[in-house]
Structure 1
């Protein structure tokens, strides 16, 4: 399987993270690249660098205003006397229809949903090349490949069209799906990350040309809290084109696979001719977030079930944090897919 990675993704090295009011080390560490690369190579992946497709494919789903913010905010932040090393919001608008300030502090609150997406010197460069990796992966599928794996880091599925959040800045899976759609394909996105893909949902919520589905820990008591409920089905032209399948905390392999079967049936009935798998590995029983309890065998079953659809698949890396089984979970998923084909 061809795989895409750009070494500039190492430049994003976030330090700040807050949980339950306590400042902790950020789990989205650069070392994830090393572990995930080894896991993909163990499944037979051969890595290559992405091409630079420019900002057009990114701006197809992200606003120019937001991209201006992301590209320039770290430089602007340096002019604030006594500012922190990373851009971290401390105030948010009550409604996103409220005024748009000129202040760097105010704009950080407008464009960053939480404190889990600190922006430092290398963040824009890493996020840009993470997105370019997803674009190149999509192009590989357009050119006729049946599958490809994209090691995108930082991840993307919590990024809306104009809002960062939850370790995410540019929505790699959404960018890839839009690239595939623009090439004349009919894409669906199935998100198997333990956290709901709220940014991806928001990006396509009023559209009927990209189907979005997410299997995740119930947000009633789990991040992202405000999105991911079963009643969220889309709006306008998009009504009925979004499916959320929240699971009880601690759900194991069989429960996850039952939800995945429901999601993949919807993909088939949508008439999708290409699938983007937003491949979060943090549903693992060993993941630090402890939301679900999918085993290594479960990840192999996920890969095999996706293969049974019989359509091209682009795997785009989302979450999955440092644990003893992180690399093995990726190996098992990709091997399960390739064995079942």
Structure 2
């Protein structure tokens, strides 16, 4: 399996984030990608290749054009307005406030285009975002050209980014971009299987009223877990998309046996949908030692995930999402990939 990787991700480093009671160093840090890359190399998964640059047209197929155009301007605007440190929002246009008029100041625009204080910016953030997008599309191209599978080692991740908003460390929704790109290249149906601990709220929002992209999410119960405001089992799509969005919320403490019941059901529904290609949002923050998650999967469970996905017998693009126990993230993420390869 080929891996696509860009060193430009490392420019997104040293950023701060807002959590429940404090502003803290970001959990989403460069070592995540480096541990995974090192494991790809040590396991001899296959060649690691550089991404090909793409213009942003593919991003604008799933995101609002004004949102995508905003992202590269954040840091220059932040500096031009005299700010220092991490660019971070502090106010949001919630219910009852105007959300249709973009403000002019950068600190307000950050809130206008986000849902939390986790997608923040430093000088190298935009270059990292763009490289992550290029990684995803380059890996998608490998699958389109006949590879059985490919791994997009994306950083920053993407599945919390919606059509017009960022959040949860995510800016461009790489899995959604790839799914739409496959459609634009002639695929009739795509399934996105999101196995990250946190619900892929951005992916759901983008495709919620569509029947041509099936979205299946296995995640922590939004009644008690971030991102809280999407991910309930009764969210099944709307209009033409009714029945093509499937959520599997699970309680704190869920281990392999219970989690695997959800995986089996999701895979059965995916197979019945009969997509041309599967896009896997590969988060491994389901791990028992993850510092911001509450599931109890063990490292030996991750190859079993890959093995089950391989049984679908479909071309598969793996897109890296979450996972914050950085010392084990390489073992767990690459474990899924070697399991898929059955070795």
- Please give the residue correspondences for 1:125-274 in structure 2 after superposition, counting only pairs within 5 Å: 125-185=127-187, 186-274=189-277
- Is the Cα contact below 8 Å between 1:188 and 1:210 reproduced in 2? yes
**Closer, same or farther in 2 for the Cα pair 1:306/1:278, shift >3 Å?**
same
Q: Distance in 1 between matches of 2:78 and 2:5?
A: 29
Secondary structure in 2 matching 1:166: coil
1:14 CA drift (Å): 4.2
Q: Deviations over 1:207-259 (max 9, x none)?
A: 11110110001111111011111111111111111000011111111111110
Matched with 2:66 is: 65
Question: Which residue among 326, 339, 342 is the counterpart of 1:339?
Answer: 342
Residue 112 (structure 2) aligned to one of 110, 113, 138: 110
Distance 1:42 1:258, change over 3 A: farther
Structure 1 contact 152–317 (Cα < 8 Å) conserved: yes
Q: TM-score, normalised by structure 2?
A: 0.96
Residue 10 of structure 2 corresponds to 10
CA distance in 2, matches of 1:132, 1:206: 27
Distance 1:181 1:266 in 2: 20
Q: Structure 1, unaligned stretches of length 5 or more? A: none
**Counterpart Cα distance in 2 of 1:102 and 1:323:** 38
Q: CA deviation at 1:273?
A: 1.7
Cα distance in 1 for residues equivalent to 2:167 and 2:336: 26
Name the SS of the counterpart of 2:342 in structure 1: helix
Deviations 1:273-313 (A, max 9, x none): 21001000101112111321111121111000000000011
In the aligned structure 2, how far is the partner of 1:45 from the partner of 1:30?
A: 22
Structure 1 residue 79: Cα displacement: 2.4
Give 1:7-86 correspondences, 5 Å limit: 7-43=7-43, 44-81=45-82, 83-86=83-86
What is the aligned length? 339
Matched, 1:101 2:123: no
TM-score calculated relative to the size of structure 1: 0.96
1:282–1:320 Cα contact (<8 Å) kept: yes
Distance 1:301 1:75 in 2: 45
d(CA) in 1 for partners of 2:14 and 2:238? Answer: 35
Distance of aligned partners of 1:311 and 1:54 in 2 relative to their CA distance in 1, 3 Å threshold: same
Q: 1:287 to 1:93 in 2, by over 3 A?
A: same
Q: Is the 8 A contact 1:42 1:331 kept in 2?
A: no
1:296 corresponds in structure 2 to 299
Structure 2 residues not aligned, in runs of 5+:
none
Q: Which deviates further from its counterpart, 254-263 or 150-159? A: 254-263
For 1:298-337, list aligned pairs within 5 A.
298-337=301-340
> 1:157 deviation in Å?
0.3
